[in-house]
A and B are shown apart, each in its own frame.
Chain A
Amino acid sequence: MTAAPISTPSPVPRIVPAGDRTLLIEFADRIDADTNAQVLALAHKLRSALRKTRGLSSVVPAYRSLAVGFDPLLIGHGAVRDLIARSLDACAGAPMPVPRRWEVPVCYGGDHGMDLQALADLHQLAPAQLIARHTAPVYRVYMVGFLPGFAYLGGLDPLLHTPRRAMPRAHTPAGSVNIGGQQTAIASVPGPSGWHLIGRTPWRSFDLRHAQPFLFEAGDEVAFTPIDADAFEHLAAQQDDPASRPQPQREVRP
């Protein structure tokens, strides 16, 4: 990760077609907080346009780029480009809403984080030191993608950056807290994964019992709180009751 020199102004993002019904907006070619903040600011503006603009169908933010989907028979490529340009102008200097903050309980190591010890050994840390480094930052949800509700977090301690496993695991549980490359993530559904599994949250970040099934959104802040296996069981059992859904510690101010 390279930080931009402070004096460099934000370059104009590149807008390129991805087929006949998607425009891709690419910001700087790096994973960092500033670039992602630009992506999310534009996503925020375009999301409000989505509700008012006929033919606009999706706004999908990622680390450093954003895809805008549309029906080209209802709105042309030129009109969408104009809308993006206007939204970019409107972003300049506009304050972003204060993000939601989630305090996510995680049971590290043991059965819930089978790679913790190996990862600690690799980085020549005690498991407790690794946990301390993983729980220290306030992370930002840079994007939700790959699978329903899967949250990619930015802000991992560079000391914990770890190449992915040579052999992906065929099965990892929902709620896995993982490290892969320079990223850490909260998995939402069970599935195969090549990331290192260091812990698990009892929270369900994709829960179809709720009208809004997704817990995390791009832009949210996430902090991890270590819990023991008993607390995990207790909280997991609580989650069986749809009424006890996790709440953010800080809500978005309107």
Chain B
Amino acid sequence: MNARLRVEAPGMLTTVQDLGRAGYEHMGVPPSGAMDPGALRLANALVGNTPNAAALEFTLLGGRLTVLDADCAIAFAGTATLHIAATGALPARALTPWQSHRLPAGATLTIGPLERGVRGYLAVGGGIAVTPVLGSASTLTRARLGGLDGRALARGDVLGTGDSRSRFPRRWLAARDTGWFYRDEPVGIVLGPQQDHFAPAEIERFLGATYCLAPQSDRMGLRLEGPAIAHAKGADIITDPIAAGSIQIPGAGQPLIAMNDRQTTGGYPKIATVISADLPRLAQMRPGQRVRFEPLEPAQAVQRWRDYLDWIRDREAALRADPNFPIFPLLFP
């Protein structure tokens, strides 16, 4: 029997996400998926899942879940305190994030607020079992699509898990690696596609500015506060496609960065586009955090994407090569 998870406290915004829904943007469906796909992949590697297995994305606050029916392998990719409440013969116990654990049926896991970053991922052995919609388990709440009935988790929800083949790997990410997800460096951008809607002095202002991430940011877009950027030809363009990381400048001049649940098309000029390698890091920036930009050529941006993927793949490979696999005989070694 596969384990199930009962939601005791859902947290602020907890959704089922995998690596996203490709191939439907021309039908108005954004990719959705984990805002920090690297963290999701490592959470999955820690419990022995394939990289694209569905997991839970927590936002700022953690939550509380009870394991039902069977033991369950879990790992949390995020910097938070985790603990198990005392139940029956089971003593209360703190668990380490970025590491796999075997939770017995009946255990209640509490995930505390995220101490760094914005998003943490709870992977479970076998993955969260939901019916894929358009090829993905990812939730798009705006269109009530995917995940659990297209919505965020609520108290009392019960989630199924996939077949973990009763494997309970014992794996952990090196402590020196966990800070990598929250590197505080300038965010790489490629100028355009509509930088000609801004005078050179405005582009200079944008590149020299320090912005502050606004609290109204969400899975659809990140709002920045700081120097307003003036348009040369008005704030409206004919509605055109919006790529991931597009930095739109609406009428008031404050940048708006399109993220995973973005609308697929829109009508504000886009001064620049955040590079693929820096989108996950941007998604982990906290409200109030400072953001500066670094202009790059597309070729440099592609190299950074290669470096990003290599970093993730190296660690995935190391976790999967763990010689201890698949032994995890004790509940809490």
Give chain A's interface residues, CB within 8 Å of chain B.
16-22, 24, 26, 29-31, 43, 57-67, 69, 72-73, 76-77, 143-150, 152, 188-189, 191, 206, 208, 213-214, 217-218
On chain A, the residues within 8 Å of B246 by CB distance are: 18-19
Determine the interface band of chain B, counting residues with CB < 8 A from chain A: 35 or more
Cβ-defined contact, B190 with A145, below 8 A: no
Contact with A along B212-246 (1 / 0, CB 8 A): 00000000000000000000000000111101111
On chain B, the residues within 8 Å of A76 by CB distance are: 302
Give chain B's interface residues, CB within 8 Å of chain A.
22-29, 133-134, 140, 142-145, 190, 192-193, 238-241, 243-246, 263-266, 270, 273-276, 298-299, 301-302, 305-306, 309
On chain A, the residues within 8 Å of B145 by CB distance are: 148, 208
Nearest CB of A to B133, in Å: 6
Contact of B28 among A57, A73, A146 (CB under 8 A): A146
On chain A, the residues within 8 Å of B266 by CB distance are: 146
Closest residue of chain B to A146 (Cβ to Cβ) is B263
Nearest CB of B to A170, in Å: 13
Across the A-B interface, give the 10 residue pairs with the lowest CB-CB distance, nearest first.
Answer: A145-B265, A19-B273, A67-B241, A20-B301, A22-B243, A60-B241, A18-B243, A72-B302, A16-B193, A65-B240
Nearest CB of B to A203, in Å: 16
Using A73-B306, A189-B144 as known contacts, say yes or no to A19 and B25 having CB atoms under 8 A apart: no
Cβ-defined contact, B239 with A73, below 8 A: no
18 CB-based A-B contacts, threshold 8 Å: A16-B192, A18-B190, A19-B274, A19-B275, A20-B305, A22-B241, A58-B23, A59-B26, A69-B243, A73-B306, A145-B265, A146-B263, A146-B264, A148-B143, A149-B27, A213-B134, A217-B27, A218-B26
Cβ-defined contact, A58 with B142, below 8 A: no
Using A72-B302, A145-B239, A145-B265 as known contacts, say yes or no to A17 and B26 having CB atoms under 8 A apart: no
Cβ-defined contact, B193 with A147, below 8 A: no
Cβ-defined contact, A72 with B305, below 8 A: yes
Q: How far is the CA of A208 from the CA of B193 in the complex (A)?
A: 34
Cβ-defined contact, A18 with B26, below 8 A: no
Cβ-defined contact, A21 with B26, below 8 A: no
On chain B, the residues within 8 Å of A57 by CB distance are: 22-23
Nearest CB of A to B227, in Å: 22
Cβ-defined contact, A143 with B239, below 8 A: yes
On chain A, the residues within 8 Å of B25 by CB distance are: 58, 60, 67, 69
Cβ-defined contact, B243 with A21, below 8 A: yes
Known: A20-B190, A149-B27, A206-B143. 20 other contacts (CB 8 A): A16-B193, A18-B241, A19-B190, A22-B243, A22-B273, A24-B193, A24-B240, A24-B241, A26-B193, A43-B26, A60-B25, A62-B239, A67-B241, A69-B243, A76-B302, A77-B299, A145-B264, A146-B264, A147-B142, A189-B143
Q: How far is the CA of A176 from the CA of B239 in the complex (A)?
A: 20
CB < 8 Å A-B pair total = 139
Cβ-defined contact, B306 with A58, below 8 A: no
Cβ-defined contact, A143 with B306, below 8 A: no
On chain A, the residues within 8 Å of B22 by CB distance are: 57-58
Q: How far is the CA of A29 from the CA of B194 in the complex (A)?
A: 12
Cβ-defined contact, B142 with A191, below 8 A: yes
Contact of B26 among A30, A61, A191 (CB under 8 A): A61
Q: How far is the CA of A55 from the CA of B193 in the complex (A)?
A: 21
Closest residue of chain B to A50 (Cβ to Cβ) is B23
On chain B, the residues within 8 Å of A143 by CB distance are: 239, 265
Cβ-defined contact, B142 with A64, below 8 A: no
Closest residue of chain A to B299 (Cβ to Cβ) is A77
Q: How far is the CA of A30 from the CA of B244 in the complex (A)?
A: 24
Nearest CB of B to A84, in Å: 14
Cβ-defined contact, B240 with A64, below 8 A: yes
Nearest CB of B to A57, in Å: 6
- Point out which of B143, B244, B274 has the most chain A C-beta atoms below 10 A from its C-beta: B143
- Point out which of B27, B192, B240, B309 has the most chain A C-beta atoms below 10 A from its C-beta: B27
